């Protein structure tokens, strides 16, 4: 049986050999190895703690550990020792996703213990239970074993999100019943150890809504109760649901009898190639902040050959507007990373290319759609991606460029009744996050330009484009000591 120090030593030693060509500068990632879902996001005792699904011994998925980073400001981060690793009979197949709470000063993790009853990776023979671990120092965690077992007939039963409300503890868990119609189950507890089933909070009614609802999250923002799920098994429909799996939300009201009345049906949170399993938490000042896994199952991951795979999205402040959309905007704290500010005066171009002389990482770019006549116009990021307006389809398109046809694909959003478009863009070594019109839409994707070439070049095709404004900054590295 491994020890915690074995895994940490392996990660530290392997990190020295990681190829940094595509390794992120301002996104949270493991020092080496594999990561997926964000877990246990919490502010407690003056620190932000982010945990993540982590396999330290390879850049491929394996039995899940919980990696761990901390920050005082949501900007500058420090890697801590691995918090959980699969060493008990109830979690030997992996310490799967979960959440963190402050239980009267006790730092408590609730997570899924996974056991393969057949061959590793055989999802037809598993046991999944919800488990607890606690810490007095925020670094070392003591396991207390299972606190909630699955109902009869359900094997896939995972990803608990726990919160305090109405003088009680509550938990939502994703499940796949024998009907293969995904559901979210709601539980209640007075003490985090004794849980009572309350009801099925929400569930799929057709196969098109997914056979398994992973990674549920449930929170109130702007007086709306938001249920987030990551359904597996939704088929692509036109421009929508183009990824292997999706993440989205329903808006409604959590009634006094604990039922959930849906007011707005399922919408995707992000429309890029690489966004999954988001989890939210409450910041020190009360804002609702969300972080997602910036990758996608069964996708091509060139970074695996470099010794690592997976990263988090930037933290995003979440709000809900009167038009029924969940707004996601980059947190203002990220402005601390800025330097070398540059701005361009408004300009237009016709059937030509205009490049910035210097490479930046953050951009604010506005186009005047009403005054632009080109069929297509926008900008390229090195030889790795294009972001452009298609005037004929009335869509904003993110095109990922690659000689690998599995990567050379597009994602897009509609631009109906839109006379101007404001883009807030973050370009890291191998990722791009686009926030459209104050967060009404987001597109998050990994891309792989040659030799880290991320210089922006504006272009038009068959007509004129009017660029209203351009601002840009260089961004500093987020990994530094959190000690005072």
Residues 100 and 184 in one domain: yes
Closest CA to 412 of 363, 454, 445, 365: 445
User: CA 238 to CA 242: how far, in whole Å?
Assistant: 8
pLDDT of amino acid 484 = 42
CATH number where 252 lies: 2.115.10.20
480 inside domain: no
Other C-beta atoms closer than 10 Å to the C-beta of 165 total: 11
Please indicate whether residue 4 or residue 33 has the higher confidence score (pLDDT).
33
Hey, is 334 helix, strand or coil? helix
The sign one gets for the Cα dihedral 354, 357, 359, 361 is negative
Task: Extract the tokens encoding 431.
Answer: 């990722």
pLDDT averaged over every residue in the chain: 95
Closest CA to 166 of 193, 183, 188, 134: 188
Closest CA to 389 of 364, 418, 353, 362: 418
User: CA 343 to CA 364: how far, in whole Å?
Assistant: 9
User: CA 439 to CA 326: how far, in whole Å?
Assistant: 8
At residue 171 the predicted structure's pLDDT band, cuts being 50, 70 and 90, is very high
User: CA 427 to CA 424: how far, in whole Å?
Assistant: 10
Q: Is the pLDDT of residue 5 over 80?
A: no
Question: If DSSP states are collapsed to H, E and C, what string results for 355-368?
Answer: ECCCCCCEEEEEEE
Any catalytic annotation for residue 159? no
| Residues spanned by the domain of 267 | 4-330
Q: Using a pLDDT cut of 70, give the percent of the chain over it.
A: 98
482 inside domain: no
Residues 282 and 359 in one domain: no
484 inside domain: no
Task: Report, as an integer, the average pLDDT of 58-78.
Answer: 97
pLDDT per position as a tens digit, 190-203: 999 999 999 999 99
Q: Is the pLDDT of residue 331 over 90?
A: yes
pLDDT of amino acid 451 = 79
Task: Extract the tokens encoding 146.
Answer: 């299972």
pLDDT of amino acid 53 = 98
Final residue of a structural domain among 296, 330, 364: 330
Of the listed 6, 8, 19, 37, which one is catalytic? 37
Task: Extract the tokens encoding 337.
Answer: 């990373």
Q: Is the pLDDT of residue 475 over 80?
A: yes
Q: Is the pLDDT of residue 211 over 70?
A: yes
Residues 368 and 396 in one domain: yes
Residues 252 and 133 in one domain: yes
Task: Report, as an integer, the average pLDDT of 395-406.
Answer: 95
pLDDT of amino acid 4 = 59
Hey, is 246 helix, strand or coil? coil
Residues 348 and 298 in one domain: no
pLDDT of amino acid 124 = 87
pLDDT per position as a tens digit, 238-247: 999 999 999 9
Residues 305 and 339 in one domain: no
Residues 124 and 248 in one domain: yes
DSSP secondary structure, 154-177, as one string: --EEEEEEEEEETTEEEEEEEEE-
Residues 125 and 161 in one domain: yes
Task: Report, as an integer, the average pLDDT of 339-344.
Answer: 97
Other C-beta atoms closer than 10 Å to the C-beta of 399 total: 18
Closest CA to 25 of 477, 359, 473: 477
Residues 55 and 196 in one domain: yes
In degrees and rounded to multiples of 5, residue 373 shows phi and psi of: -115, -10
Residues 37 and 95 in one domain: yes
Task: Report, as an integer, the average pLDDT of 474-483.
Answer: 79
Placement of tokens 């294009």 in the chain: 386
Q: Is the pLDDT of residue 453 over 90?
A: no
CATH number where 419 lies: 2.60.120.560
Q: Is the pLDDT of residue 210 over 80?
A: yes
Hey, is 116 helix, strand or coil? strand
In the chain, how many domains are there?
A: 2
Q: Using a pLDDT cut of 90, give the percent of the chain over it.
A: 93
Q: Is the pLDDT of residue 237 over 80?
A: yes
Residues 392 and 300 in one domain: no
User: CA 112 to CA 129: how far, in whole Å?
Assistant: 6
In degrees and rounded to multiples of 5, residue 477 shows phi and psi of: -75, 140
Residues 359 and 263 in one domain: no
137 inside domain: yes
pLDDT per position as a tens digit, 278-328: 999 999 999 999 999 999 999 999 999 999 999 999 999 999 999 899 999
Final residue of a structural domain among 290, 307, 330: 330
In degrees and rounded to multiples of 5, residue 9 shows phi and psi of: -65, -40
Final residue of a structural domain among 330, 349, 368: 330
Residue 403 · residue 409 · CB < 8 Å:
no
Closest CA to 345 of 318, 322, 366: 366
């Amino acid at each position: 049986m491994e020890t915690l120090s074995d895994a940490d030593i392996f990660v530290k030693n392997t990190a020295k050999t990681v190829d940094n060509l595509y390794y992120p500068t301002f996104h949270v990632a493991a020092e080496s190895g594999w990561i997926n879902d964000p877990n246990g996001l919490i502010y407690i005792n003056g620190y932000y703690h982010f945990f993540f699904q982590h396999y330290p011994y390879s850049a491929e998925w394996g039995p899940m550990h919980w990696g761990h980073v901390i920050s005082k400001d949501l900007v500058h981060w420090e890697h801590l020792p691995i918090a959980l690793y699969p060493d008990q009979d109830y979690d030997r197949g992996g310490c799967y996703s979960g959440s963190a709470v402050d239980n009267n000063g006790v730092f408590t993790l609730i997570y899924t213990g996974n056991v393969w009853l057949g061959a590793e990776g055989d999802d037809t023979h598993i046991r999944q239970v919800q488990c607890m671990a606690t810490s007095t120092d925020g670094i070392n965690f003591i396991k207390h074993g299972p606190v909630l077992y699955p109902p009869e007939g359900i094997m896939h039963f995972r990803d608990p999100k726990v919160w305090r409300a109405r003088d009680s503890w509550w938990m939502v868990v994703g499940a796949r019943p024998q009907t293969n119609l995904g559901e979210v189950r709601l539980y209640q507890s007075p003490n985090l150890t004794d849980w009572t089933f309350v009801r099925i909070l929400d569930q799929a009614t057709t196969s098109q809504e997914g056979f398994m609802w992973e990674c549920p999250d449930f929170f109130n923002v702007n007086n709306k109760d938001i249920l987030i799920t990551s359904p597996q098994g939704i088929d692509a429909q036109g421009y929508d649901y183009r990824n292997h799996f999706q993440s989205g939300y329903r808006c409604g009201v959590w009634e006094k009898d604990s039922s959930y009345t849906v007011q707005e049906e399922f919408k995707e949170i992000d429309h890029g190639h690489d966004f999954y399993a988001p989890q939210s938490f409450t910041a020190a000042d009360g804002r609702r902040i969300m972080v997602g896994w910036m990758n996608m199952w069964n996708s091509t991951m060139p970074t695996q050959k470099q010794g690592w795979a997976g990263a988090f999205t930037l933290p995003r402040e979440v709000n809900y507007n009167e038009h029924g959309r969940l707004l996601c905007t980059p947190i203002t704290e990220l402005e601390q990373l800025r330097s070398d500010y540059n701005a361009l005066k408004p300009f237009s171009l016709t059937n030509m290319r205009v490049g910035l002389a210097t490479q930046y990482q953050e951009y604010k770019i506005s186009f005047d759609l009403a005054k632009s006549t080109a069929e297509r116009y926008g900008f390229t990021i090195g030889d790795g991606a294009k972001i452009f307006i298609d005037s004929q389809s009335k869509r904003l398109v993110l095109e990922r460029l690659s000689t690998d046809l599995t990567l050379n694909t597009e994602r897009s959003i509609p631009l109906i009744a839109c006379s101007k478009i404001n883009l807030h863009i973050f370009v890291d070594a191998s990722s791009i996050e686009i926030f459209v019109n104050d967060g009404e839409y987001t597109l998050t994707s990994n891309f792989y330009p040659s030799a880290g070439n991320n210089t922006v070049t504006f272009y038009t095709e068959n007509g004129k484009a009017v660029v209203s404004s351009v601002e840009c900054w260089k961004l500093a590295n987020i990994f530094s000591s959190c000690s005072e």
